[in-house]
Amino acid sequence: MVERTEADPIEHEDRWILNLRGLSVTRIGVDSQLTLALGLDVTWQVVLEAPFQLSPGSVHLPDHAMIMDMTDPREAVEQQLAAYNSHDLDAFAATYAEDVVVNRRDGSRLQGRPALRDQYAGQFAEGRCRAEILARISEGDWVVDHELAHGLADDPIRVLVAYRVRDGLIDRVDFLG
């Protein structure tokens, strides 16, 4: 009989339970289900599934498996937005590189995470800022948001903000209008 360890998955009739404490997800592979929605009103749906088995050891994905990189620049920008809207200065600053450069609408520039924290500390403490994303596009390391910024002036301000993400952190921000 093989002795189980705390890290081993536990099999139940309808699910697996994995102990993931202390681990970080860096990639997700999907290769077990394909769902086809047929018709514009999605009245028919076909689900094709392939059986798979969970086993200990290294993860090996077939060449045709779809991979989603968890360091996608949109994820970093979305985390930044969530922290901004919840006025969480620590979480907000953590989405930025230590040497971040922020080119502001008025032509001034913030350099470094400490300057960023200083700039946003007052707004966050007052709880008066919130951004609403009207549109988002991305290409490579860049994510561009069309934002409606609330709480910075009497009326909401429309602005384009370009974020460059490297190694999972925002290292450059350009406010474009």
Dihedrals phi, psi of 141, to nearest 5 degrees: -80, -5
Instruction: Say yes or no: 90 and 169 in one domain.
Output: yes
- pLDDT at residue 66, rounded to an integer: 43
Which residue would you say has higher pLDDT here, 177 or 87? Answer: 87
Q: What is the pLDDT of residues 31-84, one digit of tens each?
A: 555 555 554 544 555 555 665 555 555 555 555 444 444 468 999 999 999 999
Instruction: Say yes or no: 22 and 80 in one domain.
Output: no
- Give 151's strand partners: none
Instruction: Say yes or no: 54 and 137 in one domain.
Output: no
> What's the domain count of the chain?
2
With respect to residue 152, please indicate whether it lies within any of the assigned structural domains: yes
Instruction: Say yes or no: 81 and 163 in one domain.
Output: yes
Estimate to the nearest angstrom the gap between the alpha carbon of 41 and the chain centroid: 30
- pLDDT at residue 65, rounded to an integer: 47
Q: What is the pLDDT of residues 90-130, one digit of tens each?
A: 999 999 999 999 999 999 999 999 999 999 999 999 988 99
With respect to residue 4, please indicate whether it lies within any of the assigned structural domains: no
Task: Confirm whether pTM is higher than 0.75.
Answer: no
Range of the domain at 151: 73-175
CA 34/CA 16 separation, integer angstroms: 20
Res 20 pLDDT > 80: no
Q: What is the pLDDT of residues 128-174, one digit of tens each?
A: 899 999 999 999 999 999 999 998 888 999 999 999 999 999 999 99
- pLDDT at residue 153, rounded to an integer: 86
Q: Are 173 and 158 in contact (CB under 8 A)?
A: no
CA 128/CA 162 separation, integer angstroms: 22
Instruction: Say yes or no: 46 and 108 in one domain.
Output: no
Res 3 pLDDT > 60: yes
N-term to C-term CA, the chain: 67
Instruction: Say yes or no: 82 and 168 in one domain.
Output: yes
